[in-house]
Structure formats: C-alpha cells, structure tokens
Amino acid sequence: MGLLQRSCLLTLILFNGLALGRLAGIPTVPFTASSDEFYSVTALKSIVVDTAFAEYRDESGETLIPPSLQDFAQVFTFDLNTTLGIDARLTNADEAPSDSVFLTLGDPSKYTDVSGAQTSEGYTLSVSSSGIVISGASPLGAWWGTRTLVQQAILLNGSLPFGEAVDAPGWGIRGMMLDAARHYYPPEFIIELCSYMSFFKQNTFQLHLSDNLYNNVNIYSRERSLDLYARFRLWSDAEEVAGLNKYKNESYTREQFEEIQFACGARGVTIIPEIEAPGHALVIVQWNPDLGLSTDLSLLNISHPDTIPTMKTIWSTFFDWFHSKTVHIGADEYTADANEYNRFVNEMAAFIAETANKSTRIWGTFPPKPEYDNISTNVSIQHWEFFEDNPLFDYILNNYSVLNSDDTFYTVNKWSGSYPQTVPIARTFNGNPADSGIWQPFVFDTKNSSNNPPRSSALVLGSVVPLWNDYGANASVYSEAYWAWRDGIPALADKQWGGDLAGTEFGAVFAALHPYVPGQNLDRAVASRGDVVFRYTANRTAPAACSGALQLTDASPNGYHASTSCAATPDGTLSVGPSCALRTPLSSKGRNYTLSLTLRVDSLGPDPGSPTTLISGGDSSLVLLAPDLNIALLASGNVYALNATVPLGQWVELGVVGRGDRTFARVREVEGEGEEEEEFLAVLGINGASFVWAPVAVEAPIAQVGGEASSWTGELAALALSAEA
C-alpha cells in the first residue's frame, strides 16, 4: 500500500496541532518537538521488545488476563504491516537497535490521571534519528503508545516529528456498552468492535447480557408477559441453570465467551459482563414464574425466599467465565420496594466479593436516603439519568465511585421516543456547561455545572456509553449497532482519554484514520478499482486451476474471479442447484452497492415451507419465501420481506440496492419494463401499543450461489456487483 494523500485541511490541522504542543490524533497526544526534522517509518527494520520485560504482565488493571509486552508487540507488528505495509521483524534485545521501534517499560510513577493518582496506562513515545522508543508504565501503556505511532504514521504520511510524547489517560474506564440482550450479536462482531474501540484507546466494553422487551403491564396479560421476548445470552450446560436460556444459536458458550474476552484483551479492551436483576428480569421469571412480582413480572420479588439464592446460583455458574475484577449485576429501574432493593444489592455484592473476589457495579437507582439501609460504598454506581440520581450530591459526596453513563450520549437502535439513533457527537465538543467547551467524563450534567464534580475528582471512574435495543431484535441488523457508533466511538474516545480535539478538526482527522483501523472491516468495504466490483457471465472455456471446476472470469479490473462446480449450458448460462455452487472470493459488501442477478428459477429448495436461497454471504442471504415467492433478505436472525415476487420459469433481472441506511430490491423481466424499487423495512412493535416501520441497511450477500440444501434450481446468466447505488 502506498502512503497517503492528505487534504489541505488535514495538513493545516496537523501542523497547527504540532505548533500547539500536541499531535492531532484520536485522542490528541501532548507532544514536545525536539527539532524540525522527521523520522520516516519506511526506514523501520524491526520491532524490538526489551528482553527484560517481554514476559511482564501488569496486574493492576481491570482485566484478569493481562497480555504481556511481547503479546502486545505481536499484535502491533501485525497492525504495522496491515495498515502501513511495514513488514518489520519482531525480535528481542536488551537495547534499541537503530531503525527499530523499541518497546520497553519505564518508571510508572510519572504517569497520573486527572486526580493525580498513578495510572498504569501511560506511556512515552520518543522519536529521533535512530528510531522510535515506546516506554510504557505497563504493557498496556506501551500498547496505547503503539496506537499513537500507527495513527500519526497514517496522518503524517509516515513522517514522525522528532520529539517526545508523554501521555496518560485522565480516566481509567473508557468505553461503550452494547445491549446484547434484546439483540444477539455474534462473537466476531463484538471482537471487531473491540478492535475499533482499541484503536482510539478505549479499554472497556460492557456487555448487557440479559433483558426483555418493555413489559407493558397495563395491556399485557400474564400469559403474554410470560411469552414476551426476553433473553439470557450465556449458554451453560450446568444442571442448575437448565432452561434459563432456550436459544442456543443466539447465545455465547463458554468457549465463545473466552474467545471474546481474550481477543478483546489482546487489544487492551476488558469485557465487563452484566447480568440484569432484580428489574428487567423477565427472562428469570419466565424460567421460574414464582419469582416475579405479581404486579410486574419483569421485576423479581426480592421477598420471595428463593429469589436471592436463585441469583446467587446463576452468578456462581458463570464466575469462572469472567476475567474482569468487576462484574455488573444490573439493578436498573427497579420500581418496587427500595429497602428490599438495597438489601438485594448488598447481599449480592457481599456474595460476589466473598465467592469470586470481584467488585460489583450497579445502575444508579435508589440513592442513599435517611430512611434506607444504604448500598455499601464499595459497590460502584453507573449513573445514567438525573431522574434516578444526582451523581454528585447523592453519590460522590457520599464517597461512592461513579461511572458516567449519562443519557446525553444514549442511542437506541432504529427508533426511540426519547433518544437519537447515532451518538450526538457535537456534545462531545461543546457539552461542558461551564464554558460550552469540550465534554469529559466528569461532566454528568451538560446544562448545569453545579451538578458536576471538579475535573480532578477521584470518584469519577470514567465514561461508558450505551446503545440499547429497546424495540427488539428485528429492528436492526448487527452492523447497525456499529453504524450508530461509527463516529461516536472516536469522538467519545478522545474525550474519555482527556483529549481536546475540536469539532472543526474531528471530521478530517477521523476521515483520514478510518480506512486504516486495524483488526476489523465493520464497513464491509470491498477494495475496487472503479464502481464495478465484479461481473461474471458464465464461461465454459476457462477451467479453474485446481478443482477441475470452471472459473468465471471477473470482467471488472479487480480480478475477483469466481469458481464453480456447476455446469455451463449450451447457451452460456450456468445450471445452478443444491448440488453445485458458484463461489466468489468475497463474502459481504456494506453500503453502498447494487447487486444484480439475471436468473430463471425453475424450482425451489427441497423444503417448500422454508426459504429458498438465491445467494448467500457472510452477513445475509437473499431468499424467496413460500408460498408466493416473495423476495426477502435474511440477516442477523431476522427476515425482511417484500411484496415483490420472482415468477417461476421466467428470466428476470433481480437487483438489490444498499443505499446509505436503506435497502431496496427491484425485479423485472429481461428486457421488460422497469419495475419500481420496493424498500425492505423493519417493523418495530412499540411497547405492545403501536408499530413503527423503519429502514434497514442489510449488507449484500456475495459469497455463493447454489450448493446449499436450501438452494434454488435454475439458470444464472449473470451476476454483478457495483459500488454505486
């Protein structure tokens, strides 16, 4: 890959930044230049880990599975190669050879957070004529230093200014929360999100693992409540929790949860698991109906003698799964007895401390009051709304630690009566009420400074920003959670660290960095020279190298040749069916795209009641639904169907269009009149009271035609993908 072209605006931002003593990255980096010279990263020959510290692991962070310096160096080596094409060897030595990135550890006491307390996440990055040295307060600190190096190499076209950055985060908890309860997300998606977060130095990903749709007690019968969408996402074969989770295909097994935690941990991101009770606990009541409050089955009846023991059993089943020092027991929006609630939290927290040696976090719900036996101050509070608590007066002034999740930055997938669908990033630039300047984690209230503690308060743990799936799983496909956060993660991450990138700088810096974020392709981008990504027409003259199958030559300049085991017909079309496949070297394409198939469907899949697959990919399948052959997209466990149908035995051109956050399809007879596009829509049930129709952005399925039990039988004359919509 060549190094990058910069816009004039970006060049101005970068050089103004340097003059101000900071590098314009995400987050920004304090920097002292030592001369006006630059070191070119293309000169780098090796990445060298200081032998003395290669296997050192730091125990002071939130994770119980801290990578060693050597582990982080390996991921960094991979990143340098994939982002900048720098193929540097990874070795060990006692001191820095010339033209290397030398990774070492240094005096941890010189790195402090906003409260003046020591942080193990600091680092020093030094650039000189002999190369680059990154010295971390811990391996994690050094890892954040490598993020600075990769970002600046991207932004500065490989030329790093001579000088020194001494950098440390202002707050220890920086990250996001995903509602993986009211929508399932596969492990690979979560891991890609961790890679994305990590590039901007976020270190925490809270997974909300159990919840239910809003239990509308005013209109739901007991039967309907007990049937409402409610999920518990961990899958254990343990006898004690048999029946709690009925949906294995939308769950995390222990092996998968390990994979998530280790893969995220490898990039410095700790998973904080949340199992929600005694509110939002319908899934537990569906399992054991005696434990629900008769007045609202989504709330546990804490007075019931089996309630607390049941929650202890659930937690005991999963303690060994979790590799964080803190776990989250939910405790959100409980609307019944406050004293019982406080007893519940204290008993659970004591149990979790004694049994698993872990700390407990809850959502702020019943703040301390004279009439209560209050929650113990060693339980940390995640504040989200001032109608629940005042984080300063109720908690911080009473010595509780508080994590800032104020709903200033809440998003709800697809639709909400109160919250936006993408992070309102403008407020990261102007959300501090004291001066309309940058927001940072100590700002709970963006309107009234009197509700905010001093920036240096040690009891502000940091910030975690949630995305909720209030209207359930069918509202969205997996990637729409990413699109809700795509700009929000970097905008928030800068401020969570303590950075000060301005609104006027953010767009250009983010646009320059985004295409290179390592370890993920959440955009589902497909490299292409020109708008045509691939175009195949059947071709019997070109045998593929290995399999004896046909190769279909890609008529675009991209060389995405497909292979097929299907026979070509004398007409030059391909005879498609369940027993043979056409396979492209690709899987999925995100917005924008037009996928076109010229095909004649002669018969459906073997099970006429279930969908017949036309083409499938990593994120979706295009299918026909019985009995009328309606066109539909299957994606993320959901079905999005159109009125439009495909007639049997007739040649048609079928087009699927991904245009921004919307998806359409059109069918027309070959050389026939153009049919109107019809839009794929998600139908959201709003609290059992009404419906909302919302757009949905489904990735194009581009991996395979035929070869599946559910495949159609017929002929394919052409298959093409364009990046235009």
Ligand X SMILES: *[C@@H]1O[C@H](CO)[C@@H](O)[C@H](O)[C@H]1NC(C)=O
The distance of closest approach from Cβ of residue 26 to ligand X in the complex, given in angstroms and rounded to an integer, is: 20
Nearer to ligand X, 339 or 603 (CB): 339
The distance of closest approach from Cβ of residue 499 to ligand X in the complex, given in angstroms and rounded to an integer, is: 25
- Closest to 187 measured CA to CA, from 273, 266, 253: 253
The distance of closest approach from Cβ of residue 368 to ligand X in the complex, given in angstroms and rounded to an integer, is: 3
- Closest to 225 measured CA to CA, from 310, 283, 300: 283
- Closest to 97 measured CA to CA, from 51, 47, 139: 47
Nearer to ligand X, 109 or 294 (CB): 294
The distance of closest approach from Cβ of residue 500 to ligand X in the complex, given in angstroms and rounded to an integer, is: 25
Nearer to ligand X, 38 or 419 (CB): 38
Tokens of 199: 């590039």
Tokens of 410: 């809440």
Report the SS3 class of residue 652.
strand
The distance of closest approach from Cβ of residue 255 to ligand X in the complex, given in angstroms and rounded to an integer, is: 17
- Helix 139-155 with 187-199: angle, nearest 10 deg: 80
User: Could you please report the per-residue DSSP string of 665-678?
Assistant: EEEEETTSPPPPPE
CA 46 to chain centre: 32
Tokens of 706: 């035929």
Nearer to ligand X, 193 or 720 (CB): 720
Report the SS3 class of residue 194.
helix
Nearer to ligand X, 95 or 531 (CB): 531
Nearer to ligand X, 166 or 217 (CB): 217
Q: Which helix (H) or strand (E) holds 270?
A: strand 270-277
Provide the 8-state DSSP code for 329: E
The distance of closest approach from Cβ of residue 391 to ligand X in the complex, given in angstroms and rounded to an integer, is: 11
Cβ–Cβ under 8 Å, residues 57 and 181: no
Nearer to ligand X, 145 or 292 (CB): 292
The distance of closest approach from Cβ of residue 494 to ligand X in the complex, given in angstroms and rounded to an integer, is: 23
| List of residues contacting ligand X (CB under 6 A) | 3, 5-6, 42, 77-78, 81, 87, 157-158, 184, 249-250, 293-295, 301, 303-304, 325, 349-350, 353-354, 357, 359, 368-370, 372-374, 376, 378, 398-399, 448, 450-451, 537, 539, 541-542, 553, 555, 591-592, 637, 643, 659-660, 678, 725
Upstream peptide bond of 289 is cis (omega within 30 degrees of 0): no
The distance of closest approach from Cβ of residue 561 to ligand X in the complex, given in angstroms and rounded to an integer, is: 9
Tokens of 262: 């280790």
User: Could you please report the per-residue DSSP string of 455-496?
Assistant: TT-TTEEEEEEEEE-TT-GGG--THHHHHHHTTHHHHHHHHH
Provide the 8-state DSSP code for 9: H
The distance of closest approach from Cβ of residue 539 to ligand X in the complex, given in angstroms and rounded to an integer, is: 4
- Closest to 199 measured CA to CA, from 273, 263, 269: 269
The distance of closest approach from Cβ of residue 724 to ligand X in the complex, given in angstroms and rounded to an integer, is: 9
Q: Which single residue is written with the structure tokens 């489904």?
A: 698
Q: How far is residue 400's CA from residue 241's CA, in Å, rounded to a whole number? A: 33
Nearer to ligand X, 374 or 565 (CB): 374
Nearer to ligand X, 503 or 660 (CB): 660
The distance of closest approach from Cβ of residue 111 to ligand X in the complex, given in angstroms and rounded to an integer, is: 20
Nearer to ligand X, 592 or 650 (CB): 592
β-sheet bridge partners, residue 622: 615, 633
Nearer to ligand X, 465 or 719 (CB): 719
* Count of other CB atoms within 10 angstroms of residue 583: 16
Q: Which single residue is written with the structure tokens 């269009």?
A: 657
Nearer to ligand X, 35 or 303 (CB): 303
Q: How far is residue 491's CA from residue 502's CA, in Å, rounded to a whole number? A: 10
Nearer to ligand X, 183 or 208 (CB): 183
Cβ–Cβ under 8 Å, residues 214 and 229: no
Beta carbons within 8 Å of 232's beta carbon, 6+ residues apart: 181, 209, 210, 244, 245, 251, 275, 283, 284
Provide the 8-state DSSP code for 647: -
β-sheet bridge partners, residue 605: none
Nearer to ligand X, 184 or 471 (CB): 184
Question: What do you get for the CA distance between the two ends of the chain, in Å?
Answer: 27
Beta carbons within 8 Å of 273's beta carbon, 6+ residues apart: 206, 207, 209, 318, 321, 322, 324, 327, 328
The CA-atom distances, in angstroms, between 572 and each of 469, 505, 524, 538, 628 are 48, 54, 32, 6, 29
Nearer to ligand X, 402 or 465 (CB): 402
